Amino acid sequence: MFRALRSVGLFLVALAVFGQANAADWQEGTHYKKLDTPVRTDTDSGIEVAEVFWYGCPHCYNFKPLAESWEAKAPDDVNYVRIPAALGRSWVPHAQAFYALEAMNSLDKVHDALFEALAGQRRPLNDGESLANFVAGHGVDREEFLNNFNSFGVNARMQQAQSKIRGARITGTPTMLVNGKYTVSASMAGSLEATLAVVDYLVEKERSAAK
């Protein structure tokens, strides 16, 4: 808890600094990438901001409270979504778990706990059975979870998500994908906090372009 609060505190301080930055401070090819071919978005209106993450990623774990703070204050025309990446074979079950829980309307029950268990505690939850046992301890029906985990619908969602990630040429997490056109990561922006400042800039860029 202290770690999360400290991260949010640092984020707010950083935003105060980054908020003073001019548009010229954020350069295409240096602080963010523009995709040669945009990828589809899942919204018909507004601006999609997608957080590409992995439950086992320590950087995603540190980014989580910052991203949640940003999401809570996002303008009404922003559609914030999360996309679980499956960039390695061991990541696949965790992405499946995300979509299984989403299909059950149970993601809110376990999302934080999965981050803590996988990134924070490095627990070996690497298959459907171990994940089912884990979510059952957080009030999710075990058998229903496994049915969804192995379902055609979840597999279809997985394939769509990974196709989008591949199309955006995302190779690491956390990465922000803005309106299917731009990618931003801490390695480009300079820090996790700066990542969201660049996202702010790109959201405004997209908003202005739509006028």
**Per-residue pLDDT tens digits for 72-98:** 999 999 999 999 999 999 999 999 999
Q: How far apart are CA 200 and CA 73, in angstroms?
A: 11
pTM score = 0.87
**Per-residue pLDDT tens digits for 171-207:** 999 999 999 999 999 999 999 999 999 999 999 999 9
Cis before residue 124, ω within 30 degrees of 0? Answer: no
Residue 108 confidence (pLDDT): 95
